[in-house]
Amino acid sequence: MRYEEMTGLVQARAQLPDRQSAERVVRATLETLAERIPDGLANHMAAQLPQEAAEPLRRVAASHEGSPEERAYRRDHGERFDLTGFAGRIAWRSEHTEEEALREASAFFEVLDSAVDPELMEKLYGVLPSDIRELLPESRAEQNARRPERD
């Protein structure tokens, strides 16, 4: 999928007024997602996305600092935050309300689901806690409803 197609679909599904708003949502959601998931998964996802969409994932994964133990934890697990933290970070980055951020992130996940390999999406869903998984496309959420709770 090309970046223009991705942002156009996000714009339409999230009912955003313009392409720039859609680009902010894509960037904000991917940056926040990259903070929440293991670095390796973020890099695998980046490899399947257009360069403009891949850049926030790679940048966040590469920016993790701290002690060797902290870096190893983030590389393997990502930061721990719930849906409220997820929405707050996206809202701050996209300059929208948390309610808008949740709606827009949900629209983005629908587009992402069609843009990357299904196996990669399964891995993504497997590392997200159940409250963030609520943003998943309905069919994928139902498919993963029996997954154990993640923190």
CB 90 within 8 A of CB 28: yes
151 found inside a domain? no
Give pLDDT, residue 62.
84
The CATH number assigned to the domain holding 120 equals 1.10.490.110
User: Residue 16 sits in which domain range?
Assistant: 3-143
Strand, helix or coil at 18?
Answer: coil
Q: pTM (2 decimals)?
A: 0.84
Print pLDDT tens along the chain (151 aa). Answer: 999 999 999 999 999 999 999 999 999 999 999 999 998 899 999 999 999 999 999 999 888 665 555 555 555 557 889 999 999 999 999 999 999 999 999 999 999 999 999 999 999 888 999 999 999 886 454 555 545 555 5
Say if residues 97 and 105 touch (Cβ distance below 8 Å).
no
The whole-number pLDDT of residue 75 equals: 56
Q: Is residue 26 part of a domain?
A: yes
Q: Is residue 150 included in any domain, yes or no? A: no
Number of independent structural domains in the chain: 1
Write out the two tokens for 107: 């629209």
Amino acid at 67: S
What is the separation, in whole angstroms, between the first and last Cα of the chain?
32
Residue 27 lies in a domain: yes
Residue 92 domain-assigned (yes or no)? yes
Q: Could you tell me if residue 133 is inside a domain? A: yes
